[in-house]
Amino acid sequence: MDFTNYMSDRVKPMQGSSIRAMFKFLEQADIISLAGGSPAPESFPGRELAEIASELLAEKSHICLQYGVTEGYTPLREIVKGRMAKVDSHKEYDETIITSGAQQAIDLALKALINKGDGIIVEQPSFIGTLNSIRSYEAKLFGVPMQDDGMDLEATEEILKTENIKIIYTIATFQNPTGITMSNEKRKKLLELAKKYDVLIFEDNPYGELRFAGEPTVTIKSLDTEGRVLYFGSFSKILSAGLRLGWVTAHKDIMDKIVVLKQVNDVHTPVLNQMMAAEYMTRYSIDEHIAKIRKLYGRKCGLMLEAMDKYFPDYCKYTRPEGGLFLLYTMPEGYDAKELLNKAIANKVAFVAGNTLMLDMDKPCSSFRLNYSLVAEDKIETAIKLLAEVL
């Protein structure tokens, strides 16, 4: 039976993430994957969370196995709001809810705010999950190139002048996939543009606490005095990806609609997961835990860059991130990363081709993303040497 005609118009053009699709293939033990976006398994506090889960199930099963409130487990929400307030990113007009990962938070916010045909400006390249969510609500995507200090704001303003734009989406800190961080000067300018042209900003910040070099930046949310910025955070990179815990902090008027949409979506985020996170942060220092992760990723990134400097051809360029999980490698114009990927897999190493992260996924792209968080330290140099052979 052909179900094509039964599909809604908004999902017909959508394609599954080739990154997720690659995971099955990359489970082969002989392939070194630099393609994932996952945190390092050695960063998970498994023993501590196991003890906490056991106690919660034994002593508080009447709470952790029961329905919960849509806004989230109150102790966890208060912890999140407190951490946001420390960096001046939770205003008096804001509210915070816990979601099933930051991806759900972004999707719910888009659903609450976007009508068919509304314009959204995104960095190019950008995170495939958000791009697909935007496509599902039949919004119009407008991409602006990345520069060494963040998105091109001149190109951004040119779009704002001529198009019906409602939202600017940015991963301002350790951007996925480039690893680039927007300068504080550009953050202020971006907010000024949002005010001038009356648009909202989605500040997606899953990697912001993973800085291992350079000077800290302010959140765009901290500069906002009107409620124009919606902030999306995640525990996936600092505690556990599998717990699927994220949050959104936004003006109460917007949050009212997001809460209703979450009730329709999944009622609430699993209570046990929320209680585990809250209890962990009550018993242990999450900041000390994050500091260990920073050191781990700083070491892995350093090993990768050192190997790339040694083995890669000098006619290509690559970003040198100060935090996060990724860097972007760019070949000369005219080369296609998808073709290179096939040869790389044959040589037992894999990456994410850049076309997957662009607005036009069918167009050849000379860039590709490398991840250093997931690969074992003793395999980083080997992986780069294998990739260098293909290059």
For the chain, give every domain's residue range.
4-44+288-390, 60-283
pLDDT category, 387, cuts 50, 70, 90? very high
Label residue 20 by pLDDT band (50, 70, 90): low
Average pLDDT over residues 9-32: 67
CA torsion angle for 61, 65, 70, 72 (degrees, to 10)?
A: 50
What pLDDT, in 10s, does the model give residues 273-328?
A: 999 999 999 999 999 999 999 999 999 999 999 999 999 998 889 999 999 999 99
- Return mean pLDDT, the chain: 95
CA distances (Å), 272 to each of 98, 128, 276, in order?
13, 29, 6
Residue 30: predicted pLDDT: 86
- Residue-wise pLDDT for 220-245, tens only, equals 999 999 999 999 999 999 999 999 99
- What token pair was written down for 175? 């951007």
Give Cα separations from 116 to 141, 159, 164, 222, 301 (angstroms): 11, 18, 11, 30, 41
Q: How confident is the model at residue 22 (pLDDT cuts 50, 70, 90)?
A: low
Q: What is the CATH number of domain 60-283?
A: 3.40.640.10
CATH of the domain spanning 4-44+288-390: 3.90.1150.10
Q: What percent of the chain has pLDDT over 90?
A: 91
pTM equals: 0.95
pLDDT given at position 138: 94
* pLDDT at 27 > cutoff 90: no
Residue-wise pLDDT tens digits, 146-165? 999 999 999 999 999 999 99
pLDDT digits (tens, 9 = 90+) for 29-88: 789 999 988 999 999 999 999 999 999 999 999 999 999 999 999 999 999 999 999 999
